[in-house]
Amino acid sequence: MKKATAGPAAPESGGAGRRVVVTGLGAVTAAGWGVGPLNDWLQTGRTAIGPFTRIDHHLQRTHVAGEVPPPPAGQARLFARWRRYSNTDRFALFAAVEAAAAARLPASLHDRASGVFFGSSTGGLFESEQFYSQLVGHSTDVANRSFLASHHLSAPAEAVARQFGVSGPVETLSSACASAGLAIEQALRSVRSGEVDIAFAGGADCLALTTYSGFNALRAMDAQPCRPFRADRQGMSLGEGGAVLVLEDLEHALARGVTPLAEVLGAGSTCDATHMTAPHEAGQFAAEAMRSAIADAGLTAGDIGYINAHATGTPLNDAAEYAAMRLVFGERTSDVPVEATKSVLGHLLGAAGAVEAVVTVLGLMHRVVHPTAGDGPCDPATPLTLVSGRPRAVPDLRYAISSSLGFGGANAAVLLGRWMPT
């Protein structure tokens, strides 16, 4: 049962205390419903960003996104239970159920110290937009309030908590692009400190008119699928979906007879505190988040063998992120293989940090760095090692960093390690 803790639920730091491992993964993305389809897609080097129908975009500046395809036919019963939920809720629930099954968790976690730590920027915004459209378009008594039932940003996390009877903390962080990275950090600290033994760490977001229009208003989106770090990159692509990692106390997992998939070794976060939409161009605070994660793991920058970068594909982000990597990795920056998952799935906003952590774990498990979609030379101003075409084997891969740099300046870095039984 839950271990007593003294004082406020204070996180561990400096690597002391309980070890936290990943025992299950779940994902819903443009590649399909499930980690299997995601993993398969990651082998191909192709992008899953393309035409989409979630919202009407004929008046938008761009016409591509990483849209989740229709759900698989064989899951009718599951989806029937969830039919009143929002898209975002369903992405979260599917991913959580998949992750829980992979972790061989019991159907109910009610008697275990467990929590949910999620990121979301949209919650049920897609459905709320439909409600609003009814509200302002028709008389006030026609708009169907049931569209609003999952409006809250906290709704996906709460749906997951209800699904599994979670009784511990259920928290949602909404810091734009850094949300899920920060949520994973919170889950890490919660498990490390003994506040919980099991945590669903994840995120979910859905394409919506607000976000699609908003990023176009900022002229931030590329008409083509995004091309992070390439010389001719023009901007980002939006995506949607959900991803969940089951984080667990190592001893608790081993006692259940479950083999970890990876270890969560450290995390760090900072804030640029400079501008609401543009990253700090010198990258120093993004660098500090990475350094902090590395220190939290008790490692050095030289130990990192793979970087899953934030890499939205906007000229400003990628340049600032390169600068940040230079500050942390110095001369090695151009040698450490980098993966830009957003080139494949698009930017999942509040779920990005979670889906990218899942991808990073897959890389660690299989000792590969997956290809970044697209071709063309890297921007000479950001000379990085991107993998193209098919995954690159990295036989001695042990440690990886996944970074998420958000709108509003929040930066999050999570350090993951291959599971290496001692």
Pick out residues in 112-151 that bind other proteins (CB under 8 A). 115-116, 120-121, 123, 125, 129, 132-133, 135-136, 140-141, 145, 148-150
In whole angstroms, how close is the CB of 240 to other proteins at the nearest point? 16
Going along 94-164, which residue ranges are E strands? Answer: 114-119
Distance of alpha carbon 310 from alpha carbon 404, whole angstroms: 5
Residues 6+ apart with CB under 8 A from 347: 66, 177, 226, 236, 237, 238, 239, 312
Phi-psi bin for 133: left (phi > 0), alpha (psi -120 to 50), beta? alpha
Nearer to other proteins, 140 or 422 (CB): 140
The candidate with the shortest Cα–Cα distance to 267, out of 299, 243, 245, is 299
From 57, 252, 310, 370, active-site residue = 310
In whole angstroms, how close is the CB of 43 to other proteins at the nearest point? 28
Is residue 274 close enough to count as binding other proteins by CB under 8 A?
yes
Asked if residue 173 lies in contact with residue 186, where contact means CB atoms within 8 angstroms, the answer is yes
The site string for other proteins over 77-116 (x = CB under 8 A, - otherwise) reads ---------------------------------x----xx
Q: Which of 51, 142, 276, 421 binds other proteins (CB under 8 A)?
A: 276
Nearer to other proteins, 57 or 392 (CB): 57
Query: What would the DSSP string read from start to end of 67-81?
Result: PPPPPPGGGHHHHHH
Phi, psi of 21 (to 5 degrees): -120, 165
Window 4 to 63, contacts with other proteins (CB under 8 A): 4-13, 16-17, 59-63
Is residue 158 close enough to count as binding other proteins by CB under 8 A?
yes
Token duo for residue 22: 């990943």
Q: What value, to the nearest 5°, has the Cα angle with vertex 263 and ends 405 and 29?
A: 55
For residue 226, indicate whether it is catalytic.
no
Window 370 to 409, contacts with other proteins (CB under 8 A): 406-409
Burial of 74 (0-12, 13-18, 19+ CB in 10 A): exposed
Nearer to other proteins, 314 or 372 (CB): 314
# residues contacting other proteins (CB under 8 A): 102
Asked if residue 238 lies in contact with residue 275, where contact means CB atoms within 8 angstroms, the answer is no
The candidate with the shortest Cα–Cα distance to 65, out of 308, 347, 310, 316, is 347
Is residue 156 close enough to count as binding other proteins by CB under 8 A?
no
Q: Which of 215, 229, 329, 399 binds other proteins (CB under 8 A)?
A: 215
Nearer to other proteins, 1 or 73 (CB): 1
Q: Which of 134, 234, 334, 385 binds other proteins (CB under 8 A)?
A: 234
From 177, 206, 226, 378, active-site residue = 177
Asked if residue 399 lies in contact with residue 417, where contact means CB atoms within 8 angstroms, the answer is yes
The site string for other proteins over 282-321 (x = CB under 8 A, - otherwise) reads ---x--x-----------------------x-xxxx----
In whole angstroms, how close is the CB of 270 to other proteins at the nearest point? 6
For residue 206, indicate whether it is catalytic.
no
The candidate with the shortest Cα–Cα distance to 314, out of 273, 342, 349, is 342
Q: Which of 107, 217, 231, 420 binds other proteins (CB under 8 A)?
A: 217
Is residue 422 close enough to count as binding other proteins by CB under 8 A?
no
Residues 6+ apart with CB under 8 A from 100: 24, 26, 164, 200, 246
Q: Which of 224, 256, 334, 367 binds other proteins (CB under 8 A)?
A: 224
Nearer to other proteins, 80 or 276 (CB): 276
Is residue 73 close enough to count as binding other proteins by CB under 8 A?
no
Asked if residue 266 lies in contact with residue 184, where contact means CB atoms within 8 angstroms, the answer is no
Is residue 161 close enough to count as binding other proteins by CB under 8 A?
yes
For residue 151, indicate whether it is catalytic.
no
Is residue 352 close enough to count as binding other proteins by CB under 8 A?
no
The DSSP 8-state label assigned to residue 9 in this structure reads: -
Q: Which residues are catalytic?
A: 177, 310, 347
